[in-house]
Structure 1
Amino acid sequence: MSSMPFDYSVNQFTTTPWSFEQDVAHYTEAGIGVIEVCQDKLDADRSKEQLVAAVAAGLAIQSVQPSVRTMIPSAGQPEPKQLPQRLAVLRSCVELVAPFAPGAVFVTNTGPAPGGDMVEAIAQTVSGHRELAAVAADRGVRIALEPLNPISLNQESAIWTLRQGLDIVDEIDRDNVGICFDTWNLWQDGNVLDSLRAAGDRIFLLQVSDWRTPRSGADRRSVGTGAIPTGQLLHAVYDIGYRGPCVLEILSQGVPDSVYDTDLDELLHTNRAALDKSWQTIESRDGIRASQ
């Protein structure tokens, strides 16, 4: 039985070599009860059928990665070019998945600052999220803006600290728009613990993996095998009241020792064990006790 106070969830990018159907089968076999759906894995002709099957198998869809997440065209999501069309694609994702995922969190990013104009990037992010928030509110779901690691600047993101993300969320000023806190993206933010304490209930989603100096834009490692102080961050998020899922999100492309080439069933098991160990280690060291 897990000692960690968060439900263990898996983002489908973590098991990229598997199909959507294989994800459902392997996750449930591993005793995982929560999934982060990646729209890229849905078949356009069978998407509703696939979502029905996931829920029927006992997987709660508590978070979603739309195929288009950025307000501004990015290296990984270059099309469509204009914000209204990008919002239309985002809207269609919310409309598709929300009926199967009550209360779920849809992850978004800013995209890169156009021509280095961060002011314009923030303006488009604010306006886009206000429009998207209304769509999400009508369907009982939420939006979580994700600040990304500086490695993604000028490619996928215009912001790289939690404080920047919180400032944008404050400006958006919608109750159903908050932050996706990804440990890989934010652990090097020098003010991350202070910013977390200031975040309160605006942390909508927690994602985890581990860090080594990356050799590609997608070179994440299993929890406990890198430099991230995972236990400390788990407790910091818990202490501000977060009780949502802890989502394993490992991206591993363009590297010779990709985790995608390993035993993915074992990957699911070892990361859950590593998260439990990370929680317990900090709990023991600091005398922190999670409420039961």
Structure 2
Amino acid sequence: MSATDRRWRAKGFVMIDGGYRFGISEFTTQPWSFEDDVTRYARLGVDTIEVVEAKLDDHRFAEQMESIGPAGLDISGVQPKVRTFFASRMTPDPKGVDERVAALRGSIERLGRFAPGVPFITNTGAHPRGDMAEAMRIVGDRLGELSKVAADNGVLLALEPLNPTSVNVESAIWTIDQALEVIDRAGSDRVGLCLDYWNIWQNPGVTAQIARAGAKIFTVQASDWRTPRSFADRIVPGAGDIPLAELIRATRATGYELPYVVEIFSEDVPDSLYDRDLEAVIIDCKRGFASAWEESLTGRAFDPART
């Protein structure tokens, strides 16, 4: 038995044909503090944390970032405070592209030394006139400029296409192929793709698009879909309509071996996951993703009784 298999058995899952690293984005546990996230993720057997910069204390961020490794976690990605090139509903300020690029540069320079080799996650934002073509050109060019900053700080940039529900609200792109067009325009191997299954699962020919992305996939995010009742209505992996096993199988076929990170937003709905016991939510996420992973390998769902 490999060390990976032994580690996953110890965490309560039987992993076959190799394992995977399981991560949680701090967006998933929005009500917790950064310190709660680090302590509880580690205790619950999570492997990696996707850092949300907005949760860091401006006066203690170095100490906070340095606490992640000793707790037993790796960093899978960083969500900067300002992560879009145009204004968006989630991050409306500052307004101008130059100011937003400067903010993103500042995040990379501030946090990059604590997260070597890690992707900083970005998306386009919403063009103020809905000019998607211009947004793609500008974002590609600006990503190319920022790739030099990323290289200087030893990190990566990962562009995320969002779901069509976010078009002209949070994003100008909604397909993997559109993201790849922007990434190609950036012209740097420091710029790749953030593949969020919730956002792209309805893309036509999605598995072929994943195959085209190949080694440009820098990070993968997972959750599940029900018809949204707000801008933030994601659910636990395995509890909705997304064919996760199919998407995982397509992702694995590209050679992807980096973490799979659960990213859930759950606000302005009567049964918000943020109002539940979040430790139980994480456990449910682990089990739901494990089931999809095993189905991706064997065609049968994960059975907790076999652990």
TM-score by length of 2: 0.90
> What is residue 208 of structure 1 aligned with on the other side?
222
Specify every segment of 5 or more residues in structure 2 that has no aligned partner in the other structure, as ranges.
1-7, 301-307
Q: Is the 8 A contact 2:87 2:94 kept in 1?
A: yes
1:159 aligns with 2:173: yes
Distance in 2 between residues matched to 1:108 and 1:60, nearest whole Å: 20
Q: Does 1:253 align with 2:274?
A: no
CA contact (8 A) 1:5 1:243 kept: no
Q: What's the TM-score, normalizing by structure 1?
A: 0.95
Would the aligned equivalents of 2:144 and 2:185 in 1 still touch at CA under 8 Å? Answer: no
Count of aligned residue pairs for this structure pair: 286
Which AA in structure 2 matches 1:107? I
**Structure 1: gaps spanning 5 or more residues:** 287-292
| Post-superposition CA distance 1:144-165 (Å, at most 9, x none) | 0000000001111000111111
2:55 paired with 1:41: yes
Aligned mate of 1:62, from 60, 65, 76: 76
2:129 & 2:297 partners in 1: Cα distance? 46
Residue 136 of structure 1: aligned partner: 150
Alpha-carbon contact 1:197-1:240 (below 8 Å) kept? yes
Distance 2:299 2:106 in 1: 47
The two structures, once aligned, show a CA RMSD in angstroms of 1.2
Checking the alignment, whether the CA contact within 8 Å between 1:179 and 1:205 is kept in structure 2 is: yes
Percent of residue pairs bearing the same amino acid type: 45
Q: Report the Cα distance in structure 2 between the residues aligned to 1:56 and 1:29, rounded to whole angstroms.
A: 13
* 2:282 alignment counterpart: 268
CA shift, 1:124, in A, is 1.6
DSSP-derived class of the 1:205 partner:
strand
Cα deviation, residue 237, structure 1: 0.5
| 2:163 matched residue in structure 1 | 149
Answer whether contact 2:22 2:48 (CA < 8 A) is retained.
yes
Contact 1:9 1:248 in 2 (8 A): yes
Deviation at 1:246, TM superposition (A): 0.2
* Contact 2:137-2:185 at 8 Å conserved across structures: no
Equivalent residue, structure 1, for 2:106: 92
* Counterpart residue type for residue 267 of structure 2: Q
- Could you say which residue in structure 2 is the equivalent of 1:29? 43
